[in-house]
Structure 1
Amino acid sequence: MRILFTTYPDKTIFHAMVPLAWALRTAGHEVRVAVQPKFVDVVTQAGLTAVSVGRDPSTWRLAELNIEQVEAERAGLPAPYDAAVDPAAVDWETMRDGYATLVEQWHQLDNFPMIAGLTDFARSWRPDLVIWESNTYAGGIAAEACGAAHARLVWSVDVFGVAREHYLRLKAERPEHDRADPMVDWLGPYARKYGFDFTEDLFTGQFTVHQLPASLSMDAGLDYLPMRYVPYGGVAAVPKWLWSAPERPRIALTLGTTATDRYAGYAADVRDILDSLADLDVEVVATIAESAQQKLTSVPGNARIVSWVPLHALVPSCSVIINHAGPGTFLTSALHGVPQLTVPWDFDEPELARRAAAQGGSLTIRADRATGESVRAGVLRLLGEPGFGERAMSLRDEIRALPTPNQLVPRLEELTAKHRVADR
């Protein structure tokens, strides 16, 4: 088969797609990854074949926003996706207006620059299957335009599918004259332009690949294919200091790359956290962006500060991981059965962290409340109470029981044959 992956240019999201792309490639299928020009090098560094489509976007408008606006945008899930967490607290008008805002300020900016180029390439190359990231709706458009089967790949809790399910329910309850749908208004004309009928598949795919175990999942009434998370973080080299096991319990502090790459910095106070752990008989390894390192006026004697280290190499040596509940970071840690203290803030992070804490292998403190004192107390609990380690191991076993990307390939082949339209 010919299989086309596509995503808007975000490294952490693309990294979640790489293991499945390689599984399909090693199964003998022809795989290409269509992305905007500036992202081609990221794809080729993963050893995959890239196709440059469209033009580069300008989604992130941080130069135009003051810091208060930036922080407000980061505070958890925006409407309408917050309905996935608490549907009873969100009404029709709030969801409708939330979709309208996100279409204008997010989805159009990510997708418009690549829709035409991606569709042209798909019609030329004729893929059998298109796998697209949850917000890269251009992938569904291109697939429908050329008759390919298509699937979403979700990288965290499926707030997109669940929120959409709630919205459709509320929409059906409205009178005929009051059923506005900003997503249909946006994507419907593309369906007509490229000669196919609009369906909800443009939002949620014909089926969905997801990488969370059942204890953490949030599912809509969709066709889901569970897949084991396999860590991939880009080009990696293991430093010599990681060759040997630590002499003391090792605590990792890692807050992801998005906070410093796209925003004003970490939501949690790194220096306060490091200082709070300074007198403990532990080794702290903190992966901190160079821009944030420059703000540290001092470093405790038990802390090692590094700009980056392969997380999948660091985690097995750790007793506790302090992290932001980014899905890649969280799942890499969970895959090794390490208890976690999450300090979430952005988008899906608080909900993933809440579900993880309910599972029992972790604790969570919202980032703006994560004082050094509270983090220290959480770390001591995770180190001292065996139940956290036991539940973390249970979550590890649950993840490892999911089909690997390689084991998922035959099912993808079956669904492609079912959904592909040969004569389009």
Structure 2
Amino acid sequence: MRLLFVTSPLVGHVFPLVSTAWAAAAAGHDVVVATAGDAVGAARGAGLAVVDLTGGQNPMARFRAQAPAPPPVTGEGTAEAMVAHLFGTCSVDMAAAAVALAADWRPDCIVHSALDGAGPMAARTHKIPLVRHTFAMGETAPAMIDGVWRMLEPLRREHGVDDDSVEPLAVVDPGPRSLRESTPDRVAACRFVPFNGGGELPDWLYRGSGPRLCVTLGTVVPWTSGADTFRTLLDAAAGLDAEVVVANGHADLSALGALPPNVRVAGYVPLSALLPTCAAVVHHGGPGSAANALAVGIPQLALPHMADQFDISAALDRRGIGLVQHPQQATVDSLRRDMALLLDDPGLRERAGEVAEENAALPPVADMVAGLVGRVAAR
């Protein structure tokens, strides 16, 4: 069977699909990833065959050039509108090439990341079974998915696609069920397997005698909110009886000046390697960060900024494995208090361990892929 994976042009949108793509390839299916921008390198680095849908252009960079300093997100409504516009714009850039690729390669199934509209456009144009792949922390808000689809309306009219919604045949949703408020029948559940890319690990990673706290804000938040969010977090970390490792990726923190002596700026370190060495993590509510933490059973402090980060943060709070603060209301004192709680509260750690065990007990990704292929074949 031929499986075409289409993802939004962000590294964090490729990573959740990698284990599924690997499992499909290992089962003997033909797998191709279609994406753009930084995600092309991420897919290639994962050992997957990849097609660049924009011929080397970066839709995210183009969007950022048009909106170099977006306003801070103040709530879920503005977040949904901004995210739908961002990923709708990227989908428009990619959709025509995705339609052409599907016409040439003729996949039996298209699997798309939740905020991608190019994959659904290709699937609906050619009447190919469509599967949505979540970010491993539950379904993305329908308003954002619908907003992306609406931005493709001119291209849909051009190709005779009159579907007002983009409901898939199935939804691949890795990770523990106890964090979901509901589980629709079409969900294909499986274990969440962390993947954050490869890379040479630093020599300090497995050293250290005390507890370690990871701080990460992903790739998008440093752009939307700037280095000030890191500043407040690192001021709060000063004086903690812990080593604080800042996984800042490519974000430039030089403007922050001198940092507390217990803080280590690590740049890019795969979370799948870093988090098992940590006692807790502070993050932006992103699905990759949250899912990686729950897989290794450590408590989390989430500061949601946009998109599904609000829903993810609420799920962590409901399950009792994380704490939540709004970044615009957080202070040095409130953050330091919650960081200390992450490190010291045995209840948080016990419940986080329960969720990790729940995840480990879920069906392997290979079993989920076999079932998914069966559904597509029956269709």
TM-score, length-scaled by structure 2? 0.88
- Counterpart position of 2:363: 403
Alignment check: 8 A CA contact 1:251 1:319 kept: yes
- Counterpart position of 1:20: 20
Secondary structure in 2 aligned to 1:335? helix
- 1:376 corresponds to 2:336: yes
Aligned-pair distance for 1:292? 3.5
> Among the aligned pairs, what percent are the same residue?
29
2:163 paired residue among 179, 186, 198: 198
- Paired letter, 2:242: V
Q: CA–CA distance in 1 between the matches of 2:144 and 2:40?
A: 31
1:256 paired residue among 211, 218, 236: 218
Gaps of at least 5 residues in structure 1 are: 82-97, 168-181, 420-424
**Residues 185/331 of structure 1: CA separation in 2 closer, same or farther (3 Å cut):** closer
- Counterpart position of 1:148: 128
- Counterpart position of 2:141: 160
Alignment check: 8 A CA contact 1:54 1:118 kept: no
**Count of aligned positions:** 376
**Residues 402/275 of structure 1: CA separation in 2 closer, same or farther (3 Å cut):** same
Q: CA–CA distance in 1 between the matches of 2:325 and 2:356?
A: 22
Gaps of at least 5 residues in structure 2 are: none
1:286 paired residue among 233, 246, 265: 246
**Residues 319/234 of structure 1: CA separation in 2 closer, same or farther (3 Å cut):** same
Alignment check: 8 A CA contact 2:305 2:327 kept: yes
**Residues 64/192 of structure 1: CA separation in 2 closer, same or farther (3 Å cut):** closer
1:364 paired residue among 321, 324, 341: 324
Deviates further, 123-132 or 189-198: 189-198
Aligned-pair distance for 1:241? 1.1
Deviates further, 207-216 or 189-198: 189-198
2:271 paired residue among 304, 308, 311: 311
**Residues 393/234 of structure 1: CA separation in 2 closer, same or farther (3 Å cut):** same
- Paired letter, 2:291: L
Q: How does 1:170-249 map to 2 (within 5 A)?
A: 193-194=158-159, 198=163, 200=165, 203-219=166-182, 223-244=186-207, 246-249=208-211
- Counterpart position of 1:77: 76
- Paired letter, 1:256: G
- Counterpart position of 1:320: 280
- Counterpart position of 1:386: 346
Q: CA–CA distance in 2 between the matches of 1:8 and 1:118?
A: 12
Cα deviation 1:43-81 (Å, max 9, x = unaligned): 2122111123345464564444474xx234x33433695
- Counterpart position of 1:179: none
- 1:42 corresponds to 2:42: yes
Aligned-pair distance for 1:146? 2.9
> Runs of 4 or more off by more than 6 Å in structure 1?
182-185
Secondary structure in 2 aligned to 1:237? coil
Q: CA–CA distance in 1 between the matches of 2:363 and 2:19?
A: 12
Secondary structure in 2 aligned to 1:9? coil
Aligned-pair distance for 1:291? 4.7
2:104 paired residue among 111, 117, 124: 124
Deviates further, 383-392 or 50-59: 50-59
Alignment check: 8 A CA contact 1:7 1:14 kept: yes
Alignment check: 8 A CA contact 2:6 2:34 kept: yes
Aligned-pair distance for 1:216? 2.1
**Residues 294/24 of structure 1: CA separation in 2 closer, same or farther (3 Å cut):** same
Q: CA–CA distance in 1 between the matches of 2:183 and 2:154?
A: 26
Aligned-pair distance for 1:408? 0.8
Aligned-pair distance for 1:339? 1.0
**Residues 272/136 of structure 1: CA separation in 2 closer, same or farther (3 Å cut):** closer
Q: CA–CA distance in 2 between the matches of 1:206 and 1:12?
A: 24
- Paired letter, 1:224: V
Secondary structure in 2 aligned to 1:377? helix
- Paired letter, 1:343: L
- Paired letter, 1:5: F
TM-score, length-scaled by structure 1? 0.79
**Residues 263/336 of structure 1: CA separation in 2 closer, same or farther (3 Å cut):** same
Aligned-pair distance for 1:257? 1.8
Aligned-pair distance for 1:229? 1.9
Q: CA–CA distance in 2 between the matches of 1:373 and 1:231?
A: 32
**Residues 274/280 of structure 1: CA separation in 2 closer, same or farther (3 Å cut):** same
Q: CA–CA distance in 1 between the matches of 2:79 and 2:226?
A: 26
Aligned-pair distance for 1:265? 1.7
Aligned-pair distance for 1:397? 1.7
